[in-house]
Chain A
């Protein structure tokens, strides 16, 4: 069998970094193979994919040196972020962009666009639909459709489902399995549940960017399980192993004598339109409420309503006081956004955590003590002088949580805090939140993960079409479904 892509003794270094990302990495890929590249965040998996496709150094200028590089003649590349793969405003125009690049005659375009959309099961009433109105899953489908229009022999998939919920993730992999059956496929992915039955070979990297193993799927999955665990890979059974290791038991709510939040006839508005309605409910200290529901059902809107970021009507009491009477809601409620970068307001990790305390004009010594405690607890001590943007994904996430709850608010609202995080970081964040919950903090967490619902939450809210349709324990919910 001839190889379709390979690198020999590849060396690569990014500008500004002190060490080589790759030092003499060699690997070959053969026609028709389905290969999964695994490794911890930042080990250079995506970079390798870009080298194999020729995007490095042709499109992205990075100094590389290698004895030999073969790149496939025709290839397609699906990227991670659904929002940054397209250059045209409409669905049909985006696929047409690829067809234009291939100099397809205009008369054939309309049919071909429809044909590729059908291929990925992207069913639209009108192919002239704004891409911006599509969901993340639909956007990734469109990305696959436009890549298929290139008629590639090799498909490079760079975490195509990293930013999707479990349902869309499954659908995307079903689509990929269908369209890529007879192609060579190289995948980089963290969530490997759906990938495993599709691929044959696994290449395993370590943190230093070295290949530590390369072999058949079964061999790697059995021999290197500990490495997978250490690297935070979402391998099947990762949750079971974690629960067993930690001997985690069902969480118990400490006391139910004190109403922390109570709402009735509560409605939240986006513009003029009511987007979330809750009839009547009460929340007690130490409750962990998992808020679940489909995309666009109104989960984030509910958090925004509770935080009073949008207009609401109805009765809403925090700790016994009506919300209109509360002068500074941020003293009682903390909010953690999905994208940590947006909530950073200072230039160093230390200042970021100290920020809220400085606004309240506490004396320097108190601030210093408290921030130091938090830096230790969230394991950010080494990074305290760094700019928040320079941190890794997991560190950024921890910092955003630390900065939000520094005032030790009794209520914490989190919008998908484990989104896009690897298994290791996810467990760390969950442990931190659990620690706070045990001390009586109420947690509201929007999530798509049924495991979090099962193992960590004490109560579940199901939101459907802007209404709270289920409010109870996780076991009850699983029984009903």
Chain B
């Protein structure tokens, strides 16, 4: 069971992980202040472009990832389109009330969700957890005990997946039949979670003791196996967004797709 999703390394993989994290957080916050749907659409194109070209994933997997992302978009947009406030009615049926305003606001909210997930996926696909935590320790000076506890936890995930499979077989062998409905769901949850939790707690405790046995403590001058540094790729990363997002803004002001500049309902 492999827990790294890296297929091919691109320049995105070589960016300092802490730096990448901060830039993406800034981009997240920026998105919250955009109310012009034209800018939002171009913004989305910039992110999509990066994901399609530089994620380093095979085409098949890229498409596979897009399916749930699209689902996210639809499920975020639809409630707002159907039930949002607005004056220019397009369609009305019972509780559903689609207006021009609610439609565009829905699309806008959907796009926002899309950008959030897009950036998140780009980060996840191009960052090795080990490098991220090494970088957090080296650049952002987070205490090593937190970094290593996350790394140790990460190692347990594939073990838990195997365990889940074993329990599934065991249930089948014992002839466990699940009841339908809420009660049945609770039963299933209980039967899986108790053995898995008990094993995980025990395992976590053992790993912790093993780490102490290897003299893990918070020494001041800890040396690092991986030295995480900055490079030209970091500058590239900032320039990419700086240039393309400026262009996105410029285009949406000069050549807007829609006349709406603020989707908020007044």
The yes or no verdict on A and B being binding partners is: yes
A residues at B contact (CB < 8 Å):
50, 53, 55, 58-60, 76-77, 79, 81, 83-90, 92-93, 96-106, 109, 130-132, 146-147, 150, 304, 307, 309, 328, 330, 334-335, 337, 339, 341-345, 355-356, 359, 389, 403-404
Tell me if B170 and A87 are in contact (CB < 8 A). no
Q: How far is the CB of A153 from chain B (nearest CB, A)?
A: 14
Q: How far is the CB of A81 from chain B (nearest CB, A)?
A: 6
The CA of A132 and the CA of B222, in the complex, are separated in Å by: 26
Tell me if B173 and A343 are in contact (CB < 8 A). yes
Name the contact of B215 in the complex, choosing from A150, A389, A403 (C-beta under 8 A): A150
For B130, list chain A residues within 8 Å (CB).
88-90, 93
For A355, list chain B residues within 8 Å (CB).
174
The CA of A311 and the CA of B154, in the complex, are separated in Å by: 31
Name the contact of B221 in the complex, choosing from A103, A330, A334 (C-beta under 8 A): A103
B266 on the A face (CB < 8 A): no
User: Chain A: which residue is nearest B150 at the CB level?
Assistant: A87
For B211, list chain A residues within 8 Å (CB).
87
For A60, list chain B residues within 8 Å (CB).
209
Stretch among B38-46, B73-81, B161-169 lining the A interface: B161-169
Name the contact of A100 in the complex, choosing from B175, B208, B225 (C-beta under 8 A): B225
Q: How far is the CB of A36 from chain B (nearest CB, A)?
A: 20
Name the contact of A101 in the complex, choosing from B155, B171, B215 (C-beta under 8 A): B215
CB neighbors of A among B170-214 (8 A): 170-177, 191, 195, 198-199, 203, 206-214
Name the contact of A87 in the complex, choosing from B3, B171, B210 (C-beta under 8 A): B210
For B227, list chain A residues within 8 Å (CB).
106
Tell me if A342 and B163 are in contact (CB < 8 A). yes
The CA of A198 and the CA of B215, in the complex, are separated in Å by: 27
Interface residues on B, range: 35 or more
The CA of A464 and the CA of B34, in the complex, are separated in Å by: 64
For A93, list chain B residues within 8 Å (CB).
130, 225
B66 on the A face (CB < 8 A): no
B223 on the A face (CB < 8 A): yes
User: Chain A: which residue is nearest B196 at the CB level?
Assistant: A342
The CA of A342 and the CA of B164, in the complex, are separated in Å by: 9
Q: How far is the CB of B131 from chain A (nearest CB, A)?
A: 11
Which of A50, A102, A130, A343 gathers most chain B CB within 10 Å?
Answer: A343
Tell me if B214 and A150 are in contact (CB < 8 A). yes
Q: How far is the CB of B194 from chain A (nearest CB, A)?
A: 9
A-B contact pairs, 9 of them (CB 8 A): A59-B209, A93-B130, A103-B221, A105-B223, A106-B227, A132-B158, A337-B169, A342-B195, A389-B198
- Taking A60-B209, A345-B170 as known contacts, 7 extra A-B pairs with beta carbons closer than 8 A to each other, sorted by chain A number, are A79-B210, A83-B203, A86-B155, A93-B130, A343-B173, A356-B174, A404-B173
Name the contact of B216 in the complex, choosing from A97, A132, A339, A343 (C-beta under 8 A): A97
B219 on the A face (CB < 8 A): yes
The CA of A404 and the CA of B208, in the complex, are separated in Å by: 35
CB neighbors of A among B224-243 (8 A): 224-225, 227
Tell me if B214 and A97 are in contact (CB < 8 A). yes
B2 on the A face (CB < 8 A): yes
For A309, list chain B residues within 8 Å (CB).
169, 172-173
Q: How far is the CB of B169 from chain A (nearest CB, A)?
A: 5
B10 on the A face (CB < 8 A): no
The CA of A93 and the CA of B227, in the complex, are separated in Å by: 13
Q: How far is the CB of B132 from chain A (nearest CB, A)?
A: 13
B residues at A contact (CB < 8 Å):
1-4, 130, 148, 151-152, 154-155, 158-159, 163, 166-167, 169-177, 191, 195, 198-199, 203, 206-217, 219, 221-225, 227
For B175, list chain A residues within 8 Å (CB).
328, 330, 356, 359
Tell me if B173 and A307 are in contact (CB < 8 A). yes
The CA of A334 and the CA of B146, in the complex, are separated in Å by: 45
Tell me if A343 and B170 are in contact (CB < 8 A). yes
User: Chain A: which residue is nearest B158 at the CB level?
Assistant: A132
For A105, list chain B residues within 8 Å (CB).
223
For B212, list chain A residues within 8 Å (CB).
55, 58-59
With A84-B210, A343-B170 in contact, is A89–B154 under 8 Å at CB? yes
The CA of A147 and the CA of B210, in the complex, are separated in Å by: 10
Tell me if B152 and A87 are in contact (CB < 8 A). yes
The CA of A171 and the CA of B92, in the complex, are separated in Å by: 76
For A356, list chain B residues within 8 Å (CB).
174-175
Tell me if A55 and B209 are in contact (CB < 8 A). yes
User: Chain B: which residue is nearest A77 at the CB level?
Assistant: B213
Name the contact of A341 in the complex, choosing from B158, B198, B208 (C-beta under 8 A): B198
Tell me if A88 and B151 are in contact (CB < 8 A). yes
Tell me if B171 and A345 are in contact (CB < 8 A). yes
The CA of A356 and the CA of B170, in the complex, are separated in Å by: 13
Tell me if B174 and A304 are in contact (CB < 8 A). no
With A102-B215, A150-B215 in contact, is A343–B174 under 8 Å at CB? yes
Tell me if B173 and A101 are in contact (CB < 8 A). no
Name the contact of B223 in the complex, choosing from A83, A100, A341 (C-beta under 8 A): A100
Tell me if B174 and A79 are in contact (CB < 8 A). no
For B214, list chain A residues within 8 Å (CB).
97-98, 101, 146-147, 150
Tell me if B177 and A359 are in contact (CB < 8 A). yes
Which of A55, A132, A150, A404 gathers most chain B CB within 10 Å?
Answer: A132
Tell me if B169 and A341 are in contact (CB < 8 A). no
For A104, list chain B residues within 8 Å (CB).
223
Tell me if A59 and B173 are in contact (CB < 8 A). no
Tell me if B225 and A96 are in contact (CB < 8 A). yes
For A55, list chain B residues within 8 Å (CB).
209, 212-213
User: Chain A: which residue is nearest B219 at the CB level?
Assistant: A103
Tell me if A339 and B166 are in contact (CB < 8 A). yes
With A83-B203, A88-B151 in contact, is A103–B222 under 8 Å at CB? yes
